[in-house]
Structure 1
């Protein structure tokens, strides 16, 4: 007879209230759930659904005194967590229940070494000596496949990549082998291949230690790959709960169906843009980039001499036609954002950038300013892009004011028309950025980018921080605006599913160089470069029936683009493998 796994965590009728200017309101209402030993439970939903508040309530880390548990119980085994004082709760955290937060850089202390932070938690919960704690820290880093674990102990958080910092967070959480691990959006900020490795790592460690996992995410692809059971939350309430296969195959709640329909899928996404033939009859290009190089010198030593050079972009060439979307894809550090900044005139470069038939390198200050009207950017974080002290109407009108376009009344009329076009009302022009949701703020940024009626808009990870349904609406808006205004897009992303749904052509970057470029169908239907294939294979598939058995890991970290002075980077030559499909070969 098969024994039933024991229940390790039980939440009954949990309510979390937050006190605001208008009084108290519930952000989690009557939530009940159970978690069995060795099980992975995913709590999915959009921002504001109460996912993270639930996790903080379990950890007894709610921000005091603004938030509190107003009703319900939380049992970890036989222990009632809501009845414990802070002193007793500190013994539970890390030892029996641990948490991985979304942004490792803000979770790690920037002034303490990795080793100090790891050993500190081990020594706090065990009777190990400092030497023994250090050895366990090394073993924890090796368990999460960090190379040269012993030397990493001396490094500080800023010296590690995003993926490595997240692995350090996992090592800290699992060093004491807790009964329950809460992972709050642990892969949202990671590249798709690093995300695959982190998820595979969590699976391995769970099987080894029998840890129960609560995975909090809004990525339904991650849910499909990881979860045994799923809870869907909205506005603080559970709207649906069940086995992962049942939730995806037979969703009962309308909100669940909407959430799944909004997920971008490679090859069959609902919002997939129809393939368009290249406009050969239109010789004029919005932008042409030829042999672009961007390098940054690093100084060191007693005299501050230049000792190393970062080859951020090396010999990149491409063109963008009117009404076309060229997607620039690759992992963090590949040079795609640096390429965008060079095109927008924000970093020094060598090579040729031609916008609207004018080469930027041969223009004076006034001419360069005029050309920049034709190139506008939409950044990843809309809140960081908007001045919190200015009304959003003034922010959208600011480009018109800088370039001396139209009178004050005409500017206001144009801004009102832009607000209407991006799905906002003219009444909202008087509000401040903090009074909008994330998706609404991104619409404000899109309106500002359109204010000067540019020929090219650079969208740098413009939807990566948005919930899946908001992301779908913003992508639809970008497509509508392209059809209406004929604007071209340079769409920068590491999300291959989003890229496959919106792009006409795709250029894949690796270590500052393009390794493959072609039409959307060429790159996704017949990827020829190993790195392109790896990016596509790493995309989580929102279908539990297609859950991969294993993820192919890299044996080591991606090499650095930094070289010693005089040391030249490897040059890659692009060869045409047919119909303009270019693939890199070592040259």
Structure 2
């Protein structure tokens, strides 16, 4: 342990005896195939009431294992071998499972990173919220339901009364995370552990949720342990930070000191990899020229989904997921789509890949998708490939990664067995892996390596367009930077085009040539990166940019203007259509929706 990591500088808030949680020499080990190895080694820190402590580091650094140890939720083969975690004088690590149940939720609550595995798929959202509230508070059913609805409203979920009857699979990833946050906030715990609580959230919702957590601290004195790889969130929300690597504390101290004068090389490398809003303006590369036949083109494209049925089995409402969207993607261009969950970004990606029915005109490589037969749609897959957000879910765990890259070539009957193998080996080397690794399975790789394998698989058919749907949002900042650099290098080599879908505005600014901002299924602003980021004209674009966390604790932003009233929805009764926005050209292709 370094000298910087040995001492946690006392915060300014409160007196020394106000310590709520004192962790001393926490050591967590795992027994794997008869071998015991440490996951967390000698971790110590103090946390006072009303403070936020950020634990930062890359995947595998021990951040989440620390939180699970404090909650008493370690897997069977993982155990605490040494240390204490004193919460108001009670050692959480020494409590039995029965004793710990009285603490979970009421005194220590946790927001998990993956909400789908935390929510019960066979129970409605309302039942799970009500159950959690009544487990710790003596409330009547009606009072508990009212508290649950209010908790959902606090985290800005639209139509909270209707969401109460829905099931987890009916909500987007961001909405499921908001449900988990609402469940934790409803308990008013003295200690809240937030494990990557905003990773899946849009930048505006992230800002609102972080503001909510701060409000909770001010009103109740709740202390927060914030586990994150987003250094912008650390800079804005935390009082102190602990940087971990390979289970050990590398550096710790006040956030202001950590950002301005990091002592350890690892901390400096971590901060250097953070994408910063405004850094994209330093690039001055010309736009790829327009071509007679763009790689992809949408003209007044719309995608609708009918939902709800009446007594006669007829649909009553329609989701206007995409409504009258028009843009094109040039050869060798990176075109960005940004906006909040539910705005239609991923639906457009599915329409371009031929995965959903659409109205209007959608073409890829000059071929209108609506006129293609089955074989033609299969051929389009050679021109359009996708890189998904979760590489582990995108790879078959029973198939070696080499076979996963070779499989597209087999499906399309390209080359002989030896030629496919050679092509796969070439792709592995191109994305920074070795041909020896082709015989391994997905679980044997890190998250960044799995995403590189997905990139190799997407390149196997030499596509004209690769759709990157939140492809780096779940990666650590250093891994994210390496994957983005890889995508840039591959574009320079192969002249492939990207449709880059993301809610991380800082990342988008650093990688795209042009972009479109979407809101409720329609484009409200579109133009070059410099035009949109340098001169945002639509209020929604400005709101997105204002919500981006800034990785500089010395830079204080004005209070964020939270939306008031009911959240707009793209769902309308059958026969009712949303009002189309009119885009006005401000010059040089900078289009902005006209205000009412």
Into which bin does the TM-score normalised by the smaller protein fall? over 0.9
Deviation at 1:87, TM superposition (A): 1.6
Aligned position for 1:376: 385
Deviation at 1:367, TM superposition (A): 3.4
Flag the 1:510–1:138 CA change in 2: closer, same or farther, 3 A.
closer
Give me the whole-angstrom Cα distance separating, in 2, the residues matched to 1:359 and 1:149. Answer: 40
Deviation at 1:146, TM superposition (A): 6.1
Q: Is 1:44 matched with 2:33?
A: no
Tell me the SS of whatever aligns to 2:582.
Answer: strand
Aligned position for 1:409: 418
Q: Is the 8 A contact 1:463 1:474 kept in 2?
A: yes
Deviation at 1:99, TM superposition (A): 1.4
Give me the whole-angstrom Cα distance separating, in 1, the residues matched to 2:62 and 2:364. Answer: 46
Q: Is 1:435 matched with 2:476?
A: no
Pairing of 1:343-358 with structure 2 (within 5 A): 343-358=352-367
Of 6, 12, 22, 1:10 maps to: 22
Q: Is the 8 A contact 1:571 1:586 kept in 2?
A: no
> 1:437-472 CA deviation, whole Å, 9 max, x = no partner?
111111111111111111111111111111111110
Tell me the SS of whatever aligns to 1:453.
Answer: coil
Of 574, 584, 591, 1:575 maps to: 584
Aligned position for 1:107: 118
Flag the 1:149–1:189 CA change in 2: closer, same or farther, 3 A.
closer
Tell me the SS of whatever aligns to 1:56.
Answer: helix
Q: Is 1:23 matched with 2:35?
A: yes
Q: Is 1:546 matched with 2:555?
A: yes
Q: Is the 8 A contact 1:13 1:31 kept in 2?
A: yes
Flag the 1:320–1:140 CA change in 2: closer, same or farther, 3 A.
closer
Aligned position for 1:216: 227
Q: Is 1:83 matched with 2:56?
A: no
Q: Is the 8 A contact 1:47 1:467 kept in 2?
A: yes
Q: Is the 8 A contact 2:177 2:200 kept in 1?
A: no
Q: Is the 8 A contact 1:273 1:501 kept in 2?
A: no
Flag the 1:84–1:337 CA change in 2: closer, same or farther, 3 A.
same
Deviation at 1:547, TM superposition (A): 3.2
Deviation at 1:352, TM superposition (A): 2.0
Give me the whole-angstrom Cα distance separating, in 1, the residues matched to 2:499 and 2:68. Answer: 39
Pairing of 1:245-256 with structure 2 (within 5 A): 245-256=256-267
Of 67, 72, 76, 1:60 maps to: 72
Q: Is the 8 A contact 1:225 1:548 kept in 2?
A: no
Give me the whole-angstrom Cα distance separating, in 2, the residues matched to 1:365 and 1:165. Answer: 36
Of 240, 251, 262, 2:251 maps to: 240
Deviation at 1:152, TM superposition (A): 6.1
Flag the 1:447–1:136 CA change in 2: closer, same or farther, 3 A.
closer
Deviation at 1:304, TM superposition (A): 1.7
Flag the 1:576–1:30 CA change in 2: closer, same or farther, 3 A.
same
Deviating more after overlay: 181-190 vs 113-122: 113-122
Give me the whole-angstrom Cα distance separating, in 2, the residues matched to 1:302 and 1:554. Answer: 36
Flag the 1:466–1:142 CA change in 2: closer, same or farther, 3 A.
closer
Q: Is 1:585 matched with 2:594?
A: yes
Deviation at 1:114, TM superposition (A): 4.3
Of 280, 303, 312, 1:294 maps to: 303
Q: Is the 8 A contact 1:297 1:310 kept in 2?
A: yes
Q: Is the 8 A contact 2:159 2:566 kept in 1?
A: no
Q: Is 1:387 matched with 2:400?
A: no
Aligned position for 2:315: 306
Q: Is the 8 A contact 1:378 1:462 kept in 2?
A: yes
Q: Is the 8 A contact 1:275 1:521 kept in 2?
A: no
Give me the whole-angstrom Cα distance separating, in 2, the residues matched to 1:19 and 1:494. Answer: 39
Deviation at 1:169, TM superposition (A): 3.0
> 1:263-319 CA deviation, whole Å, 9 max, x = no partner?
1111126xx782333344743422222111111222412332122221111111111
Flag the 1:22–1:558 CA change in 2: closer, same or farther, 3 A.
farther
Deviation at 1:371, TM superposition (A): 3.5
Give me the whole-angstrom Cα distance separating, in 1, the residues matched to 2:320 and 2:162. Answer: 26
Q: Is the 8 A contact 1:273 1:502 kept in 2?
A: no
Of 183, 192, 217, 1:181 maps to: 192
Q: Is the 8 A contact 1:45 1:233 kept in 2?
A: yes
Give me the whole-angstrom Cα distance separating, in 1, the residues matched to 2:583 and 2:349. Answer: 21
Structure 2: stretches of 5+ with no match in the other structure: 1-11
Flag the 1:409–1:152 CA change in 2: closer, same or farther, 3 A.
closer
Aligned position for 2:5: none
Give me the whole-angstrom Cα distance separating, in 2, the residues matched to 1:203 and 1:3. Answer: 17
Flag the 1:184–1:557 CA change in 2: closer, same or farther, 3 A.
farther
Aligned position for 2:108: 97
Tell me the SS of whatever aligns to 1:545.
Answer: coil
Of 450, 457, 461, 2:459 maps to: 450
Flag the 1:401–1:381 CA change in 2: closer, same or farther, 3 A.
same
Aligned position for 2:214: 203
Flag the 1:564–1:80 CA change in 2: closer, same or farther, 3 A.
same
Deviation at 1:115, TM superposition (A): 4.6
Q: Is 1:329 matched with 2:338?
A: yes
Q: Is 1:277 matched with 2:286?
A: yes
Give me the whole-angstrom Cα distance separating, in 2, the residues matched to 1:22 and 1:56. Answer: 22
Q: Is the 8 A contact 1:397 1:448 kept in 2?
A: yes
Of 6, 26, 44, 1:32 maps to: 44
Give me the whole-angstrom Cα distance separating, in 2, the residues matched to 1:161 and 1:453. Answer: 32
Give me the whole-angstrom Cα distance separating, in 2, the residues matched to 1:374 and 1:107. Answer: 38
Give me the whole-angstrom Cα distance separating, in 1, the residues matched to 2:503 and 2:240. Answer: 28
Aligned position for 2:8: none
Deviating more after overlay: 108-117 vs 338-347: 108-117
Q: With structure 2 as the length reference, what TM-score do the two structures score?
A: 0.92
